[in-house]
Amino acid sequence: MTAPSFYTPTVKRLIDVPLAIGESPVWDDRTGDLWFVDISAPTIFCLTPAGSLRKFDMPAAVGCLGLCENGKLLAGLQTGVHIFDPTTGALDLLCDPDGGRADSRLNDGKVGPDGHFWVGTRDEAVPQTGNGFLYRVAPDGSFKTILSGLLTSNGLAWSPDDKRMYHSDSSGLYLQAFDFDKFTGEIGPAQRLHDFGPEEGRPDGAAVDAEGFYWSCGVRSGRLNRMSPDGEIVEVYMMPVRGNSMPCFGGPDLKTLYVTSLALDRHDGPEPGTLMAFDAPVAGAPISRFAL
């Protein structure tokens, strides 16, 4: 195994508002808006092309977002998957796949190439018990349990050819992949790709670039790990904060990497969560929209 190359990109902080748990950045290529959340605030934010920051308070913890074909957004809240209308602020329940379970909340979620919303849960029990799930939510609100026995479902992303789905367990410290059928949403057996060591960080949110490489935020390490399709870390981008939580590609050419982070208490003082960006060395793979 070849040692990865390390880089220190020129990173720009895009907001002044401190975040507790910044997560789920999503670039809207139709409007130029960059959406993201603060899970525990709980708030949905929109950074407009003009640089203004819109803020939408939520009634419960909000873990993730997805774009819809009709211009609305999906929002994965503690209380279920909702349809969010940014023009009116209306929030309508689509379904609650987790059923209000104790010690659980919706965490990372992405729209897959099949036009469905894939959303996982985080086991909030202390200590964790392995009660996490990954669900597939259809536009009509029906849903199916895909994976179980998880600690913290995370890192969802798909290869540029839509034939592979990536998924990590942040608390389990591993990355896995599945063969994927975009027409049926069926997945093949799990392929264990990487077990993360302490210096590599806890695998959090992720994105895939146009060359098929997987970018995974290593929480508490300050690293953004670029990984080959077979799970090898080939490049490491050192961020100015240690709590980076999720990347996404954006900009007109998909060559801007947006990265959220969460707040950490460090020996040299508190590190608030934020939203950052830097010029990516490669374009990102386009993301899908919910068929609604």
Indicate which residues carry an active-site annotation.
204
Residue among 114, 31, 101 nearest 73 (CA): 31
Pairing label, strands 5-7, 233-238: parallel
What span, in angstroms and rounded, lies between the C-alpha atoms of 275 and 239?
Answer: 12
3-state secondary structure the chain: CCCCEEECCCCEECCCCCECEEEEEEECCCCCCEEEEECCCCEEEEECCCCCEEEEECCCCEEEEEEECCCCEEEEECCEEEEECCCCCCEEEEECCCCCCCCEEEEEEEECCCCCEEEEEEECCCCCCCCEEEEEECCCCCEEEEEEEECEEEEEEECCCCCEEEEEECCCCEEEEEEECCCCCCECCCEEEEECCHHHCEEEEEEEECCCCEEEEEECCCEEEEECCCCCEEEEEECCCCCEEEEEEECCCCCEEEEEEECEEECCEEECECEEEEECCCCECCCCCECC
With contact defined as beta carbons under 8 Å apart, do 55 and 89 qualify? no
